[in-house]
Amino acid sequence: MTKDIPNYSTNSDPGVLRIFVIRHGQTAENSKKILQGHLDTDLNDVGIDQAQKLGKYLREDRDIVFDKVYTSDLKRCQQTLAEILKSYSSKPEIDVDAGLRERSMGVIQGMYLKDAEEYAAKHGKTSFREFGEKADAFEERFTGTVAKIVEKSSDMKNIALISHGGSIRQLLKWLEYTDLDITKIIVYNTSVTVIDFIKDEKEYQVQRVGNTQHLGEGEFIVSDLRLR
């Protein structure tokens, strides 16, 4: 029997838009601690398995149906979506949007984490995060994309966003989510974060962060901030 998870179900309230925010499955670069950013990487075998398990869980265990799905244009997100939808006989409309990409890491994209840290120190930086897309620009780009998606989905009840770990963390920061210290966590590959948008109040309510029940018992929340 599936354990009940409040608000982890298909929404039937026309006054609410339920947003299922899904991180892509694992890539070889994830497992090797290589900084990906805008690199167009593929899922590895683990990532494919994670996405297939999520698809079965969403459709067969939770009976969740999407009115529309929005995905980052990077392959690891589109491949994750393709594996998820194998469990669905009726496919939702899909919109590919580059605004849902991860933060660009600039010159250190493709470097191993330890090499990026050494490179930053060599160039007088306190952190490798000082390279690439500026934090304010990243937040404006990503949350602006989400806001536009929500506006376009005003007549819908359930949508999914397939995106990236850093992007999801930035979204939670923008929403001022405080139940978890978002400065110290990174959501796991194929985790599901559930956010309700209350249409009349134009208010976001975070219902669930980083659910990974489809991967087994317990929660898989990464506590090493250096991981991406």
Of the residues 24, 38, 164, 214, only one is catalytic, namely: 24
What was the pLDDT predicted at 225? Answer: 41
29 is in an annotated binding site: yes
Is 28 annotated in a binding site? The answer is: yes
- Asked if the structure places residue 125 within a domain, the reply is yes
Q: Is residue 55 part of a domain?
A: yes
**Angle value at C-alpha 98, between 131 and 174, nearest 5 degrees:** 65
Active site residue 24: yes
Q: Of 8, 11, 19, nearest to 175 (Cα)?
A: 19
Asked whether residue 27 is marked as a ligand-binding residue, the answer is: yes
Q: Which of 38, 83, 102, 133 is catalytic?
A: 102
Q: Any known ligand binding at 26?
A: yes
Q: Which two tokens stand for residue 151?
A: 């506006």
Confidence (pLDDT) at 216:
86
- 93: annotated active-site residue: no
With respect to residue 70, please indicate whether it lies within any of the assigned structural domains.
Answer: yes
* Residue 11, in any domain of the structure: no
- Contact call for residues 213 and 57 (beta carbons, < 8 A): yes
Strand 203-211 to 192-198 pairing: antiparallel
Structural domain count, the chain = 1
Q: Say if 185 falls within a structural domain.
A: yes
Supply the CATH number for residue 92's domain.
3.40.50.1240
Helix ranges restricted to H, 45-157: 45-56, 75-84, 113-122, 135-152
Q: Answer yes or no: is 227 within a domain.
A: no
| Rounded-to-10 torsion of CA 208, 60, 43, 131 | -10
Please answer whether residues 226 and 33 qualify as being in contact, where contact means their C-beta atoms are separated by less than 8 angstroms.
yes
Instruction: Tell me whether residue 228 is in a domain.
Output: no
Domain that holds residue 101: 16-222
The pLDDT of residue 226: 43
What pTM value is reported for the model?
Answer: 0.93
Inter-residue contact 196 to 227 (CB < 8 Å) = no
Q: Are strands 158-163 and 203-211 parallel, antiparallel or unpaired?
A: unpaired
Closest C-alpha to 81, from 103, 35, 48: 48
Is 99 in contact with 145 (CB distance < 8 Å)?
yes
Q: pLDDT 10s digit of each residue in the chain, 228 long?
A: 356 677 789 999 999 999 999 999 999 999 999 999 999 999 999 999 999 999 999 999 999 999 999 999 999 999 999 999 999 999 999 999 999 999 999 999 999 999 999 999 999 999 999 999 999 999 999 999 999 999 999 999 999 999 999 999 999 999 999 877 766 666 899 999 999 999 999 999 999 999 999 998 555 554 444 444
**76 known ligand binder:** yes
89: in domain: yes
Residues 187 and 175: beta-carbon distance below 8 Å: no
